[in-house]
A and B are shown apart, each in its own frame.
Chain A
Amino acid sequence: MTDRPRPHNPLIQSGISLDRRALLTGAAGAVAALGSAATARAGGIPKELPDWTTGMGPGVTDEPYGTPSKFEAHVVRRNVEWLTASTESSINFTPLQDLNGILTPNGLFFERHHSGRADVDPAQHRLVIHGMVERPVSLTMEDLQRLPPVDRIAFTECAANGGMEWRGAQLNGVQFVRGMLGCAQWTGVSVRTLLEHAGVRPGAKWVLAEGADNAALDRSIPLDKMLDDAIVAYAQNGERLRPGQGYPIRLVLPGYEGNMWVKWLRRLEVGDQPWYTRWETSKYTDLLPTGKAIKFSFVQEANSVITSPSPEKPLNGPGQYVIRGLAWSGNGRVARVDVSTDGGKNWVQAPLQEPVLPKALTRFYLPWRWDGGSALLQCRAIDETGYVQPTIEALRNVRGRNSIYHNNSIITWLINPSGEVENVQVA
């Protein structure tokens, strides 16, 4: 592809345009700009040596578990206070605008709890497998370590991600519009291995997964999905799960909505029909304009978002930028991402970064020269099934405005001549 980013080009790294015509016609001008007094002051070498050069830092013992630079203190999860009645049954949002690559750092991974964050002692925790099985069994966390593990990179996304935008553009930030999202490498035991261990009886079709937290959240999951790619995970991005992610074990269901990835998992009950729990009837069902609602809407369909520029990442004067974004699909791999800078009139394909993994976040970067005028930035993901991420209008045409969940519509960022970026909706 002709527009593949060239990260090693020093002109890009110094923030100078790589626009081909500018290179051909304005090379002398660019060199002059580099040498000007103004540029030297703003981006040149400071006159004084900094403290970290003239003095020594702490040794290797002051911070047994490392933390980010104090200059990154703004990179945190945030919540939307008016969204829920209490913080214990609520959600916080991943700061997508400040993240790179496809893996979400564990300390920034969004959390959704239904009755607070449980603090489970692994020595007292058990995973119980029973119901329509030959051998009901209780597994300690140590037992799980003796079964062959699997590693799997997968995104998890709350079904309500983007849910506040059904009726119109509402929250002004990529963190709030798409931040109920994270991607990690999960390590654990495949559910297939566990169910083989217990021996599934003929006629079984569903598995109830239940947490050990005070909500004891329970969801019915098709047996086929459990045998396909479900994992009982004990590790995330190389370390044990954080309490907020279900320590010591959680269910991983690649491609399925986040609430089904039951945290603090204590029980798998095999049965021949679903349980119709509160979390698959009252909540996490999609109400349609007819008054009927969609049940068992498990999959997170293809979705994408530009993480920068974004309301949190405004532009600082015309010139060369990179449009950075994420795309994902619960139905497989991302096949293609298109980007528009004029609200969907014209589109170009954005190069995808490797790795492009099924049911995982995928990165795209597209160099872009901002001319300083108004622009409407959009991206749309197309997955390997041929599904094209819809506009909000197309989605509303089939689901109305009351469905809360599964809003995977194209997002529009309005770039103002000031460089400020705003979440808008267009028609």
Chain B
Amino acid sequence: MSRLHNVLLAVATTMALSAAGPALAGPPLEIGTPLTPEEIARWDIAVRPDGKGLPPGSGTARQGDPIYQEKCAVCHGEFGEGAGRWPQLVGGQGTLTSDNPAKTPGSYWPYATTLFDYIRRAMPFGAGQSLSNDEVYAITAYLLSEEGIIAADTVVDARTLPAIAMPNRDGFIEDPRPDVPKAKVAELCMTNCVEKVTITGHARKIDVTPDKQAAARGE
């Protein structure tokens, strides 16, 4: 009896909810499995700038060096300088206003916690979530040390990592768009709007389009 009653109640609640419209805390539907904190911890790998989400464990640059050389250097270079087309991880400070900005953790990333979050979830490339927390702390420490942000024996852990000041901490602004001066639609020019149109660039002269001939034939 009670089981059937529950099922009917769930159906009724669902219908009431959709009819009632928006409400941020509707009555609980009897769908899904309630989670315990222990279960959530299996998947809860996100780390915030304030340190929320950082796990126990620790590492230093000295400990991180051999791990980095074994698991990371093949793509990112022995000192984080990058190999081939793979991302550079060290250097690049002072390049953001140049023609070739190098956006590394040291030059660009606002928070050190992002290194831990990203390395743990996605690195080494193709083997995300394979490193121990100590290894992730140690590799994070190695990169920050190569950048000169921390010393080689600084212990990086859940307490110290959020406190590390990244050079480009204040390098970001809120979205200002629409940022192009606004045109009045009613006053948009429709005839004789410009005197002379000059072609400033040809894609064909750059010549980097893949499958060019096929594209030209419409294939």
Using a CB–CB cutoff of 8 Å, the interface residues on chain A facing chain B are 74, 78-82, 84-86, 88-89, 97, 114-116, 128, 130, 134-140, 143, 146-148, 168-173, 175-176, 192-193, 195-197, 199-200, 208, 210, 214-218, 227, 266-267, 269, 271, 273-278, 281-282, 285, 287-299, 301, 311-314, 335-336, 338, 342-348, 376, 382, 386-388, 390, 394-395, 397-399, 401-402, 406, 414, 420, 422-427
Chain A residue with the shortest CB-CB distance to B184: A386
A137 B203 Cβ-Cβ under 8 A: no
Q: How far is the CA of A200 from the CA of B29 in the complex (A)?
A: 14
Contacts of A276 in B (CB 8 A): 48-49, 110-111, 113-114
Chain A residue with the shortest CB-CB distance to B30: A146
Contacts of A335 in B (CB 8 A): 185
Q: How far is the CA of A84 from the CA of B86 in the complex (A)?
A: 8
Residue B1 at the chain A interface, CB threshold 8 Å: no
In the complex, 29 of the A-B residue pairs with CB atoms within 8 angstroms, ordered by the A residue number, are A84-B85, A97-B218, A128-B43, A135-B28, A137-B34, A138-B34, A168-B200, A169-B201, A170-B208, A171-B203, A173-B209, A196-B26, A199-B25, A215-B121, A215-B128, A275-B46, A277-B46, A281-B114, A282-B105, A282-B109, A311-B203, A312-B215, A347-B191, A347-B193, A386-B184, A387-B178, A397-B180, A422-B203, A425-B200
A197 B24 Cβ-Cβ under 8 A: no
Contacts of A196 in B (CB 8 A): 17, 22-26
Residue B211 at the chain A interface, CB threshold 8 Å: yes
A295 B173 Cβ-Cβ under 8 A: yes
B89-117 residues with Cβ-Cβ distance < 8 A to A are: 96-97, 99, 101, 103, 105, 108-111, 113-114, 117
Chain A residue with the shortest CB-CB distance to B129: A216
Residue B3 at the chain A interface, CB threshold 8 Å: no
Contacts of B216 in A (CB 8 A): 311-312, 314, 420
Residue B4 at the chain A interface, CB threshold 8 Å: no
B215 A197 Cβ-Cβ under 8 A: no
A169 B203 Cβ-Cβ under 8 A: yes
Asked, given contacts A128-B43, A281-B111, whether A138 binds B32 with beta carbons under 8 Å apart, the answer is yes
B167-202 residues with Cβ-Cβ distance < 8 A to A are: 171-185, 188-194, 197-202
A218 B110 Cβ-Cβ under 8 A: no
Chain A residue with the shortest CB-CB distance to B97: A291
Min Cβ gap A175→B in Å is 7
Q: Tell me what chain A mostly uses at the interface: helix, strand, loop, or mixed.
A: loop
Asked, given contacts A210-B46, A290-B97, A395-B180, whether A278 binds B117 with beta carbons under 8 Å apart, the answer is yes
A277 B118 Cβ-Cβ under 8 A: yes
Asked, given contacts A137-B35, A216-B129, whether A424 binds B210 with beta carbons under 8 Å apart, the answer is no
**Neighbour of A292 across the interface among B43, B172, B209, B210, CB < 8 A:** B172
Min Cβ gap B121→A in Å is 4
Q: How far is the CA of A373 from the CA of B75 in the complex (A)?
A: 51
Chain B residue with the shortest CB-CB distance to A93: B210
A74 B175 Cβ-Cβ under 8 A: no
Q: How far is the CA of A346 from the CA of B97 in the complex (A)?
A: 37
Contacts of B103 in A (CB 8 A): 282, 287
Chain A residue with the shortest CB-CB distance to B189: A347
**Neighbour of B180 across the interface among A128, A137, A172, A398, CB < 8 A:** A398
A298 B175 Cβ-Cβ under 8 A: yes
B204 A338 Cβ-Cβ under 8 A: no
Contacts of A386 in B (CB 8 A): 182, 184-185
Contacts of B209 in A (CB 8 A): 171-173, 176, 311
Size class of the B contact interface (CB-based, 8 Å): 35 or more
B197 A426 Cβ-Cβ under 8 A: yes
Residue B71 at the chain A interface, CB threshold 8 Å: no
**Neighbour of A295 across the interface among B45, B128, B172, CB < 8 A:** B172
Kindly list the 10 A-B residue pairs having the minimum CB-CB distance in the complex, ordered from nearest.
A343-B197, A85-B85, A168-B201, A423-B203, A196-B26, A278-B118, A172-B203, A216-B121, A291-B96, A74-B219
Contacts of B193 in A (CB 8 A): 344-347
Per-residue CB contact flags for chain B residues 107-148 toward chain A (1 = under 8 Å, else 0) read 011110110011001100111110000000000000000000
Contacts of A128 in B (CB 8 A): 35, 40, 43
Q: How far is the CA of A202 from the CA of B50 in the complex (A)?
A: 20
Q: How far is the CA of A288 from the CA of B49 in the complex (A)?
A: 24
B35 A136 Cβ-Cβ under 8 A: yes
Contacts of A288 in B (CB 8 A): 173
Min Cβ gap B98→A in Å is 8
B101 A402 Cβ-Cβ under 8 A: yes
Contacts of A192 in B (CB 8 A): 22
Min Cβ gap A340→B in Å is 8
Min Cβ gap A331→B in Å is 9
B197 A287 Cβ-Cβ under 8 A: no
B24 A200 Cβ-Cβ under 8 A: yes
Contacts of B35 in A (CB 8 A): 128, 130, 136-138
Contacts of B200 in A (CB 8 A): 168, 424-427
B113 A147 Cβ-Cβ under 8 A: no
Contacts of B117 in A (CB 8 A): 218, 275, 277-278
Min Cβ gap A214→B in Å is 5
**Neighbour of A148 across the interface among B18, B99, B188, CB < 8 A:** B18
Contacts of A390 in B (CB 8 A): 180
A424 B173 Cβ-Cβ under 8 A: no
Asked, given contacts A136-B35, A343-B197, whether A296 binds B175 with beta carbons under 8 Å apart, the answer is yes
Asked, given contacts A172-B209, A292-B172, A294-B175, whether A200 binds B110 with beta carbons under 8 Å apart, the answer is no
Per-residue CB contact flags for chain B residues 56-88 toward chain A (1 = under 8 Å, else 0) read 000000000000000000010000000011100
B40 A130 Cβ-Cβ under 8 A: yes
Q: How far is the CA of A376 from the CA of B202 in the complex (A)?
A: 12
